[in-house]
Amino acid sequence: MSQLIWNGLFVGSFYALVALGYSMVYGVIKLLNFAHGDLYMLGAFSGFAMLGTMGGLVKSSSLVALFVVLILTMVATGLSGVVIERIAYRPLRGAPRLSLLLTAVGASFALEYGTRIVAGPNPKVYPVRLDGTALNVLGARVTWQQIALMSVSVVLMVALNVLITRTRQGRAMRAIALDPKACLLMGIDVDKVISRTFFIGSALAGAAGVMAGGYYGKIDFLMGFIIGLKAFTAAVIGGIGNIPGTMLGGLLLGLLESFGTHFVGGQWRDVFAFGFLILFLTVRPTGLLGERVTERV
C-alpha cells in the first residue's frame, strides 16, 4: 500500500510541476496553452544538448552538472515560452477564443516536428543517469534520486506560490487575471506581466523535462504530448487557474493512476483515472480548490 502511495506521489509531482504552467497561463489570459507539454519536451532536449556539449565535465561530477543544466534549461525554456507567446499568442489576444486554441495546437505541432527535424525522430538517451540505492520507508521502496527530484519539485512549487502571493509581480499577475483592461488603465504593463507568466510557467515545465530526462533516461520528440494531457487533467481536477489546487490535482492524478493500476489492472488504469475525472467534474465542476473564482492566477 505504501508503495502505491509513494509511486503515485512521485509521478504526481511531475504532473503537478508541468500542470502549474498550464494553470498559470489559463488563470491569467484564459488560454489553454497546448504547447505547454512540448516545452517540457524542449526542456528535456535542451538539457540533453547542454550535457552533450559539457562532455567530460559531466562524467566527473554528474549531480552538479545536472543541477547547473537544470538552471540553464529553465532559463532557455522560459525564454522559448516568451517567444512563443510573442509570436503565436499576443497578436491574437483580441481574437475569438477558438483562434487562440488553434494557434496553441499549431505551436505544439511546430515545436514537436521542429525538434524532430533538428534532433531526429529516434529517442535519445541522457548521458547522465541518476542512480542511487534504495531505502525502505514504511514498506515502500524509495530511492535517493526520487527524494532529490521530489525535493526540487517541492522547492520550485513553494517558490512559485510565494512569488504569486507575496510579491508585486504576483499581485500584478493576479490583477490581470481579474481584469486586464482595468490593469492597463492603472498603469500595469500587461504585456510584460504576461510575458513573465509565460517565462515562469515554461521554466517549470523545462525543469520537469530535465528531471524526467535524468531520471528515466529516454527522451523523444513526442514525449510532451501525454504529459501535457495529464497535466491538463491535473489542472482541471485541482481547479484550473488555482495554484495550490493544481499542485493537489497533480498529486491526486498520480495517486489515481497508481491505485487504478493496482485495483483494476494496467489496461484499465486510464479508464479509471479519467472516468474519475468525469465523475469529479459533474459533481464539482470548478475542481478541488476552484471555489476561489474571484482570485485566479
Partner 1 sequence: MRKAALGVALAATALSASACGQGVLGGDSKKDKGPILLGMDIPLSGSSADIGPYMKNGAQLAIDELNAKGGVLGRKLQLRAEDDACDPKTAVAAANKLVAANVAVSVGGYCSGATLPTLPVFDRRKIPMIIPAANSTELVDQKLKHVFFVNGTGDQQAAAAMAWVTKSGAKKVAVVHDNTSYSKDIAVRTAAELDKPGGPDKATLEAVTPGESDYSANITNVLRSNPDFIYWTGYYQEGGLILRQLRQAGYKGKFMVGDGSVDAKLVKIAGGSTAEGAYATMTQTPDTIQGAENWIASYKQKFGAEPGPYSTQSYDAVRVAAEAIKKAGSTDGDKLVSALEGISGLQLFSGPLKFTPQHTLTSGGFVILVVKNGKFVLQDALK
Contacts to partner 1 by CB under 8 A: 3-4, 7-8, 10-11, 14, 113, 116, 121-123, 125, 129, 131, 134, 141, 143, 212, 216-218, 220, 222-223, 225-227, 257-258, 260-262, 265-267, 269-270
CA distance 248 to 2: 19
- Cβ proximity to partner 1: between 146 and 195 the closer is 146
- Cβ proximity to partner 1: between 120 and 285 the closer is 120
Shortest distance, position 180 Cβ to partner 1, whole Å: 37
Shortest distance, position 253 Cβ to partner 1, whole Å: 12
For the beta carbon of residue 250, count every other beta carbon within 10 angstroms.
31
Q: What are φ and ψ of residue 121, in 5° steps?
A: -80, -15
Shortest distance, position 122 Cβ to partner 1, whole Å: 4
Shortest distance, position 32 Cβ to partner 1, whole Å: 21
Q: Is 235 left (phi over 0), alpha (psi -120 to 50) or beta?
A: alpha
- Cβ proximity to partner 1: between 87 and 144 the closer is 144
Shortest distance, position 215 Cβ to partner 1, whole Å: 8
- Cβ proximity to partner 1: between 40 and 199 the closer is 40
Contact at 8 Å (CB) between 37 and 229?
yes
- Cβ proximity to partner 1: between 227 and 251 the closer is 227
Contact at 8 Å (CB) between 205 and 36?
yes
Q: Which residues fall within 8 angstroms of residue 281, CB to CB, at 6 or more apart? A: 236
Contact at 8 Å (CB) between 39 and 231?
no
